[in-house]
Amino acid sequence: MTQPTVSSHAVALPGGHASRRWWLALLATFALAGTFLADAPTVAGAGEIDIVSVDYQSDGRVTVALRTADPATEVRNVRAVVDGVPYPARIANEAALPVSVVIAIDASASMEGQPLEAARQAAIGLVDRLAPEDRVAVIAFSDAPILMSAFDDGAGGAISGLQNLWLGGSTSLYAAIDDSLALLAPEEGRTRAVVLLSDGQDTLAGAGGDGARRSQVLDAIGDSGVQMHAFAFGADADHAFLSEAANRGDGGFWSVTDAGALEDLFSHLGARLGATTEVAIDVPPLARGPHRLELHASVGGSTVEAGSDFEARNEGFVWLAPRADSASEAGSGPIVLDVSTSLPAGGLVVTAHAGRTPLEVLSNPLRVLIDPWAFPAGVTPVTVEVSTLDAVIAEASSDVTIPELTPALSFNVEASERGEVMGVLTGRAQGVAGTTLVARQNGMIVAQEQGTELRFAMPRNGVSLDLSLESNGRVLRSVAHALPQATVVSEGRTWRTYAAIAVLLLALIAGVSWWMLRRRRQTNERWQPSGRTALVGRQVPGTSESLHPLGTVIVQSPEGEERRYELRRRPLSVGSSDECDVSIRDEGVAAVHARLYALGDGEFRIHGIAPRGVPDRVTRNDEWVVVRHGEQVTIGRHLLTLYALEETRATPYATGGAA
């Protein structure tokens, strides 16, 4: 939304229409003479372009209204530069047609006083900007839409109708749009537009049919081909509906809070409606203040340039609606200020402050939280700013009423994590910074803390406490509190808690012991390298040294190298350590991996020391298996073949498992 200060300049011809024709004839004569003068410069086509208005809207679009000397002249190949930066530009509307416009003004009771007078004067200014061939009608709507001036009444009738506006009760917003579209339906061969101003919501559709009626009106706007230019006046206007209506009608939307700016905006819109061409430029959010626009275009075969200084006022891009938080207790909870904006959220920062005090801003939905304790009772102005990293885009202000609150002081007793009985004192005073919470016993200070919360260890001698909220030595509120039974109860609960924890620990130890015993009984089922069932409980003969070997074990490496060891009554230790009887260098073998026993009768017993896959970890000797003559087991990547003394190596042997 802008109030452009148009200082447009162009490659144009001075004077009125008659003067233009004279200059065109003169230029044509010079151009003809150029054919006879060899060194005379060639003059381009006599194009002319004028910027009549520049409108910046919150959706990031700058709309430029142009007027050409000849309404039938086409404008092509438009290029735009804003503040020295080029941006995409396109022809948004090209209509060298007279305009038929309906001005629909809200005349409900809420418009009484300055709003209605501002709307009346703004609409009169718009009528004055229209060309003689344009047609205008006026509708006032309150309890029902009323036609104040028809198209055939001319500009004088429209001004008379605007001067005779009177106030009603309700707001027939939807019906006013229906009547405006119906008035414009027969206006064929003309640019048709509605200029709509309202400060409230439609109050006649009814809660049950409001959604369907709303959609019906929006669809009718989109299907009509009528431009819809909507003004939302004040915070209570239906910003969402009016914005969508303008979008469906390919027009402009303005949210206005300053009655003084309304007349400028209407006058500006009147110039826009009288333009022959509209150019749309997509730009990022523009900061408030002056900007420079440069246009380059082809007009009637000539390349022309035009420039304009315009000001981005950005009023109404953000609007506020204060409300009391229904969840707050006794009115002392946060005051919520709803924030609405039509600006795109990407890359923007929203901040809020009351005076120099920053306020908390929440998103989704966007709102500001105001702590009533931080401000004195009364009216406090709050300002919300939407900005980029280096510039303020838009802002809105609202007066928030802070209720009067009584200083609050409360006390509770609770147990800490270490079982201590703690007193918790909380207190706040409205508009007072640097309050102090104090706990005294027999006139002596037990604890004190500046802020809103005090935690201290409770005394145990049964004497009452004097608790107070103070500011610079002045007592704002105080209470007396005897040591409650909750102290003993809390201690009892603490000891019961310890007892419950001890019982749980004992139960956990018993459960773990039972699980380990059960696991030990099942180990023989989990360590069976040969695939046979372990012979649980078989007795091992005495381990005294025997003079005669009972068997042989052959150890074969992955490379095929073989080593032979004799088995006697004494077991052979197997592992990667040099101290083992059978030393196996293998990363999958523990320092002491297993022991081999010769049982006689062609049987051998293998005791596992380290679990499979866990090198260098020694366990108890509780996993064992019995294998027979000729069977094999693997330890790491080595193959062990066991033979009884009576047998020969030619005896076939079965495949075993991993030890």
Structure confidence by residue, pLDDT tens digits, 8-35 = 333 232 333 333 333 333 333 333 333 2
Nearest to 148 by CA among 163, 130, 131: 163
Query: Per mean pLDDT, which of 250-254, 330-334, 516-520, 612-616 is the most reliable?
Result: 250-254
Cβ neighbors of 619 (< 8 A, separation 6 or more) are 608, 609, 610, 611
Judge if 308 and 339 occupy the same domain: no
Same domain, 210 and 254: yes
Given 466, 487, 521, the domain boundary residue is 521
Q: Given the structure tokens 């929440």, which residue do they identify?
A: 362
CB distance 529 to 659 below 8 Å: yes
The pLDDT of 589-617, averaged and rounded, is 75
- 654 lies in some domain: no
> Residue 563 domain-assigned?
yes
pTM of the predicted model as reported, rounded to 2 decimal places: 0.49
Query: Coil, strand or helix: which one is 620?
Result: coil
Of 568, 517, 579, 511, nearest to 545 by C-alpha is 568
Alpha-helix runs per DSSP H in 164-279: 173-184, 210-224, 239-248, 259-273
Write the CA distances from 503 to 241, 497, 514, integer angstroms. Answer: 67, 10, 17
Residue 77 lies in a domain: yes
- Based on the fold, state whether residues 165 and 288 are members of the same structural domain: no
491 touches 457 (CB < 8 A): no
For residues 121 and 196, membership in a common domain is answered with yes
Question: Which residue has 């924030």 as its token pair?
Answer: 339
Q: Give the model confidence (pLDDT) of 227-280 as tens digits.
A: 898 888 887 888 889 988 988 888 888 877 766 667 667 766 766 676 668 888
Decide if 31 is inside a domain. Answer: yes
Within a domain: residue 651? no
> Is residue 448 in some structural domain?
yes
- Asked, for residue 131, whether it belongs to a domain, the answer is yes
Largest CA distance in the chain: 141
Which domain CATH number covers 448?
2.60.40.10
Number of domains in the chain: 5
The residue among 378, 402, 426 that closes a domain is 402
CA dist., res. 9 & res. 68, Å (int) = 13
* 513-534 average pLDDT score: 51
- CA–CA separation, 428 vs 424, rounded Å? 14
Strand 99-106 to 191-198 pairing = parallel
Q: Same domain, yes or no, for 214 and 308?
A: no
600 Cβ neighbours under 8 A, 6+ residues apart: 541, 550
What whole-number distance in Å separates Cα of residue 560 and Cα of residue 196? 99
Domain boundary among 495, 521, 547: 521
Considering the domain architecture, whether residues 300 and 328 belong to the same structural domain is answered as no
Question: What Å distances lie between residue 106 and 117, 118, 167, CA to CA?
Answer: 12, 12, 9
If 0-12 CB within 10 Å is exposed, 13-18 middle and 19+ buried, where does residue 278 land?
Answer: buried
419 and 391, same structural domain?
no
Average pLDDT, the chain: 77
- Do both 148 and 69 map to the same domain? no
What pLDDT score was predicted for residue 601?
Answer: 81
CA nearest to 433, candidates 491, 381, 357: 357
| Segments forming the whole domain that contains residue 413 | 406-521
> Based on the domain organization, do 540 and 607 belong to the same domain?
yes
User: Is the pLDDT score of 195 beyond 90?
Assistant: yes
Specify the CATH number for the domain of residue 379. 2.60.40
d(CA 93, CA 272): 11
Highest mean pLDDT among 27-36, 212-221, 587-596 belongs to: 212-221
d(CA 652, CA 644): 13
CATH number at residue 153: 3.40.50.410
User: Does 376 share its domain with 299?
Assistant: no
Q: Are residues 197 and 78 in the same domain?
A: no
Residues 249 and 303 in one domain: no
Most confident option among 68-72, 341-345, 527-531, 639-643: 639-643
pLDDT at 172 > cutoff 80: yes
- Cα angle for residues 170, 173, 178 (degrees, 5° grid): 130
Angle, helices 210-224/173-184, rounded to nearest 10 degrees: 20
| pLDDT at res. 263 | 67
User: Which residues are registered as beta bridge partners of 442?
Assistant: none
User: Does some domain include residue 240?
Assistant: yes
